[in-house]
């Protein structure tokens, strides 16, 4: 969702402005972009990411972070991924991460183009990011991009795959991220 603003903002202006907002906003380099609410499937996949990835990394140097912290991209844009792993320590009061290693997004119909396009390019441009995992809400599957030297290579993920993440020392069966997720789609009776 976009909101019209009279003039472009700098990153510093955006960060100051966002501190006063009751809701979270991403920053496209010039304007704030409102973060819309998600679906039950989206929330359940995020929960499973926290349990699966977070549980495996608990107590180690690399930690899973949910969608409450901002990631600053190489082009000074601000994103709130659905989850990510960071391996460098930071102060407890920090709100911006500059060096995530693995990033997870669970796109909705309205954010899919941005997640596969703009965000993919932004995350690929961050030298710390080794892997970007996009998980579908409507079925077990997704797309994973990984750094291989100077290349950024995409792979399709299907239900029987295991997501190998050697940069953080774990592997997770894709199906584990969909435990207890109702993939039947929207509730037709609420329409």
Q: How would you write the pLDDT of the chain (191 residues) with one tens digit per residue?
A: 445 566 899 999 999 999 999 888 989 989 998 887 788 999 999 999 999 999 999 888 999 999 999 999 988 999 999 999 999 998 888 999 999 999 999 988 777 878 888 999 999 999 999 999 999 998 999 999 999 999 999 999 998 999 999 999 999 999 999 999 998 865 433 33
The reply to whether 56 and 13 lie within a common domain is no
Do 31 and 9 touch, CB atoms closer than 8 A?
A: yes
Do 132 and 144 touch, CB atoms closer than 8 A?
A: yes
> What local confidence, expressed as pLDDT, does residue 20 receive?
92
Which pTM value belongs to this model?
0.89
The reply to whether 26 and 90 lie within a common domain is no
Q: Tell me how crowded residue 9 is: count the other CB atoms within 10 A of its CB.
A: 18
The reply to whether 30 and 93 lie within a common domain is no
The reply to whether 94 and 164 lie within a common domain is yes
> What's the CA gap between 179 and 109, in Å, rounded?
22
Strand 162-165 versus strand 170-173 pairing type: antiparallel
> What local confidence, expressed as pLDDT, does residue 186 receive?
53
> What local confidence, expressed as pLDDT, does residue 188 receive?
37
The reply to whether 96 and 169 lie within a common domain is yes
Name the token pair of 163. 């997501």
The reply to whether 80 and 19 lie within a common domain is no
Query: Counting every residue, how long is the chain?
Result: 191
The reply to whether 163 and 150 lie within a common domain is yes
Around 90, how many Cα atoms within 13 Å sit in the side-chain half-sphere? Answer: 17
The reply to whether 28 and 115 lie within a common domain is no
Number of domain units in the chain: 2
- For the segment 35-52, what is each residue's pLDDT rounded down to a tens digit? 877 889 999 999 999 999
The reply to whether 59 and 28 lie within a common domain is no
Cα distances from 184 to residues 92, 138, 158, in angstroms, run 39, 7, 17
The reply to whether 1 and 12 lie within a common domain is yes
> What's the CA gap between 153 and 146, in Å, rounded?
5
Domain that holds residue 78: 38-190
Residues with Cβ within 8 Å of 137's Cβ and at least 6 positions away in sequence, in order, are 39, 41, 42, 45, 106, 107, 108, 183
Measure CA 66 to chain center. Answer: 8
The reply to whether 69 and 114 lie within a common domain is yes
The reply to whether 72 and 30 lie within a common domain is no
């Amino acid at each position: 969702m976009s909101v019209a603003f009279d003039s472009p903002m700098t990153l510093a202006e955006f960060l100051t402005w966002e501190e006063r907002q009751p809701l979270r906003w991403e920053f496209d380099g010039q304007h704030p972009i409102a973060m819309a609410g998600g679906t039950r499937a989206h929330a359940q996949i995020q929960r499973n990411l926290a349990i699966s990835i977070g549980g495996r990394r608990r107590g180690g140097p690399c930690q899973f972070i949910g969608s409450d912290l901002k990631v600053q991209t190489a082009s000074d844009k601000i994103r709130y991924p659905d989850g990510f792993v960071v391996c460098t320590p930071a102060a407890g009061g920090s709100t911006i991460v500059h060096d995530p290693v693995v990033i997870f997004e669970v796109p909705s119909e309205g954010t899919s183009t941005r997640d596969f396009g703009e965000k993919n390019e932004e995350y690929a441009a961050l030298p710390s990011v080794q892997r970007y995992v996009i998980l579908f809400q409507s079925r077990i599957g997704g797309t994973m991009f990984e750094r291989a030297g100077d290349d950024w290579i995409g792979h399709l993920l299907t239900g029987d795959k295991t997501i190998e993440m050697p940069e953080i020392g774990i592997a997770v069966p894709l199906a584990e991220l969909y435990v207890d997720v109702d993939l039947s789609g929207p509730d037709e009776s609420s329409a």
